[in-house]
């Protein structure tokens, strides 16, 4: 059996024992009208229902053409979920132009009820254009902010054991508890928030659950050849 045949055999075996990952939720903003506000489209809403917290559909930058989310200084826009168990991977891509100022945030919550102001935060990743750094709020882990290109943020969430790992540009930042004892082991919301920071762009959000292959699985194939 040659190497190519063995590789195909191993891959086929993995597909049999590992369920195929499926996108439980995704948004690339391409189906929305250019210039429109996101509130009321695709499940997006302003924080606590605030119309002033809107983000907008832009074609100035796009990872998947033609559109992306434009986050402006007043943006605080929320997508709600109802996941209560299992392993999940949330990814999104951010484009921050050179010359941007202020702070923007990628946030996930385990408890979100805009009607009763009941919240508990799990992920708070700060993009500080003035300092040129990206900081994980809970561990204070820092890495350099990258301008003028699309950069992935990824949270690998394990609800059943109350842990997640956070990555920026595939750089590991931290492993934190999903909730601190006052929240719940659930995925309740994604929040794209500008703390007065200048306009930046987001695109291609995906929340994948179930049988997603771990990153090491494919890397270990070579050991089986």
CB count within 10 Å of CB 136 equals 19
Q: What is the CATH number of domain 22-213?
A: 2.60.120.560
What is residue 19's predicted lDDT score, i.e. its pLDDT?
A: 39
- Which pLDDT tens digit goes with each residue over 195-214? 999 999 999 999 999 754 34
Q: How does strand 68-71 pair with strand 150-158?
A: unpaired
Mean pLDDT of the chain: 87
Domain residue spans of the chain: 22-213
| pTM for this entry | 0.84
Q: How confident is the model over 76-93, as a mean pLDDT?
A: 97
116 neighbors 126 (Cβ within 8 angstroms): no
Is 18 a residue whose pLDDT tops 80? Answer: no
Q: Answer whether residue 51 shows pLDDT above 70.
A: yes
DSSP 142-171: EEE---SSEEEEEEEEEGGGTEEEEEETTE
Asked if the model's pLDDT at residue 27 lies above 90, the reply is yes
Based on C-alpha coordinates, what's the Rg of the chain?
19
């Amino acid at each position: 059996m040659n190497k190519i045949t063995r590789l195909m055999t191993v891959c086929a075996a993995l597909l049999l024992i590992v369920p195929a990952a499926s996108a439980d939720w995704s948004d690339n903003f391409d189906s929305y009208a250019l210039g429109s506000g996101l509130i009321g489209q695709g499940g997006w809403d302003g924080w606590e229902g605030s119309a002033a917290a809107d983000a907008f559909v832009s074609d100035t930058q796009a990872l998947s053409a033609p559109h992306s989310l434009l986050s402006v200084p007043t943006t605080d826009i929320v997508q709600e979920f109802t996941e209560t168990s299992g392993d999940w991977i949330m990814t999104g891509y951010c484009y921050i132009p050179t010359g941007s100022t202020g702070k923007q945030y990628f946030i996930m919550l385990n408890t979100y009820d805009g009607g009763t102001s009941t919240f508990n935060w799990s992920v708070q990743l700060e993009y500080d254009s003035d300092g040129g750094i990206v900081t994980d709020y809970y561990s204070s882990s820092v890495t350099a902010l990258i301008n003028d290109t699309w950069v992935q943020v990824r949270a690998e969430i394990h609800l059943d054991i109350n842990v997640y790992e956070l990555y920026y540009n595939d750089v590991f930042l931290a492993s934190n508890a999903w909730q601190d004892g006052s929240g719940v082991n659930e995925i309740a919301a994604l929040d794209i928030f500008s703390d007065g920071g200048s306009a930046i762009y987001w695109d291609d959000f995906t929340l994948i659950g179930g049988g997603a292959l771990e990153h090491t699985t494919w890397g270990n194939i070579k050991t089986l050849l």
